[in-house]
Amino acid sequence: MSEVVQPIVTDVSSKPGFVGRIPVRNLWLLMLYASDLFRTGGIGRIGLEDSPDDLPDLVAEILAHAVEVRQRNPLNLGYCLRTAALARMRGRIDVLTTERDRLLDRGMVACRFDEFTINTLRNRYVRAALESIAKIVRKPNLAHRCRSLAMGMKTMGVSGDVPTRVQMSKDRMGRHEADDQLMVAAAKLAFDLALPTEASGSHVMTLPDREESWVRRLFERAIGGFYDVVLSPLGWRVRCGRTQGWQIAQRTPGIDSILPSMRTDIVMEYPLHGQRIVIDTKFTSIVTRGWFRERTLHSSYLYQMYAYLRSQAGRGDPLADKASGLLLHPSTGCSLDEAAVIQGHLIRFATVDLAGSAADMRAQLLKFCQTPCHMDEHR
């Protein structure tokens, strides 16, 4: 675990980090959009900025998931100062209270002692954060999820007053309590309703890993989560991980056991305009070096999208007959947004800049829901 330094102030426009050759400024933004993919490692300083989306729901997703992950093992216990009238001495005697209440006449004594309990400031703070954010989220199932987690903690013995920020500032975590760091940081995030960035700031929070295989899955889930949150209220239907079938007229007995399935990353439909967009995300450069030219599209990706679109046409589904495809990659230094109509299907090849701001990323993703403005007609 790296050492925690004193709060510092730096320029929020810090250079983005890299995952392989892909520049990524803020993995937290992708984690928010993906909602349920979290891996942490190390300690870092973060800055805070406003989120452009339904922030309470997104923050509630982070907090609920952090608590669920933490509860897979028993919550950490801790020592809390307690005052009580007991029949035997424990800790230190409170002489003033004992004399004032004439406890000795009843064979009792007022004591102050440290009790090893689950009802720690930290756990009470997290339970209060769950109850607080459950009141302002927009999704009923998410609010129920937060309330259930809070009730579960209360059943375990976590109750009492909500700790103040001054009290929480005195809470120190040891090396054996590293599992609590994300949970407490998420609770503070819920109270502050702020989105973390990877720019250096004065708040301490666990930083996500940059393992390439994990970020590849995160990118896919983040794009689907973004479109679901932003476009569903506008009448779009967004489905992720949808399996498509082949148009098979005849088959041999063993073909079903060896025929590969087709699983699309994201399928978006806008019935009002008769629009369907099949999105395939790849966490690689969108172009590669060709045999006879400097840059060319990956042919296997194009064939894959072509199969997604053409295999569903001619089955009596008007949306499938004119569906469009989007091959979406992160930018590796240059932006790309090109398109071609192939056998009646618009196929778009585009990149999104993960090194830009949240607002820029949002604008780019929303642009891909529209028909490209510049479609040159070459005969």
Structural domains in the chain plus CATH codes: 40-71+119-209 (no CATH), 78-117 (no CATH), 213-247+260-367 (3.40.1350)
- Average per-residue pLDDT for the chain: 80
Given a contact cutoff of 8 angstroms between Cβ atoms, the answer to whether 226 and 33 are in contact is yes
Residue 242: alpha-carbon gap to chain centroid: 21
Cβ proximity of 196 and 190 under 8 Å = no
Q: What is the pLDDT of residues 27-85, one digit of tens each?
A: 777 877 775 443 344 445 555 555 555 667 778 887 888 888 788 777 777 777 778 89
Q: What is residue 16's predicted lDDT score, i.e. its pLDDT?
A: 65
Q: Assign 19 to helix, strand or coil.
A: strand
Percentage of the chain beyond pLDDT 90 is: 27
Pairing assessment for the beta strands 324-330 and 345-352 based on DSSP bridges: parallel
Q: For residue 275, count other CB atoms closer than 10 A to its CB.
A: 17
Note the pLDDT of residue 54: 62
- pTM of the shown model: 0.63
Model confidence at 328, in pLDDT bands (50, 70, 90)? Answer: very high
pLDDT number for residue 6: 28
pLDDT tens profile 188-241: 878 876 666 676 666 666 667 677 787 888 889 889 988 887 888 889 999 998
CA dist list (Å): 135 to 130, 131, 178, 318: 9, 7, 29, 42
User: Does the pLDDT value for residue 244 go beyond 70?
Assistant: yes
How confident is the model over 274-297, as a mean pLDDT? 88
Unique residue bearing structure tokens 């769950």: 130
- State mean pLDDT over 298-318: 92
Q: In the predicted model, what is the mean pLDDT of residues 233-252? A: 90
Instruction: Place 367 in a pLDDT band, splitting at 50, 70 and 90.
Output: very high
What is the mean pLDDT of the segment spanning 293-298?
Answer: 85
Which residues are CB-neighbours of 182 under 8 A, at least 6 positions away? 38, 40, 66, 69, 70, 205, 206
Q: Render 244-264 in DSSP notation, one character per residue.
A: E----S---TTGGGTSPPEEE
Buried b (16+ CB within 10 A) or exposed e, 103-132: beeeebbbbebeeeebbbbbbbbbbbbbbb
Q: Which helix (H) or strand (E) holds 147?
A: helix 140-155
The DSSP result for 168-179, as a single string, is HHT----GGGTH
Residue 300 banded pLDDT, cuts 50, 70, 90: very high
CA distances from 297 to 340, 343, 348, 353, 378 (A): 13, 18, 11, 18, 20
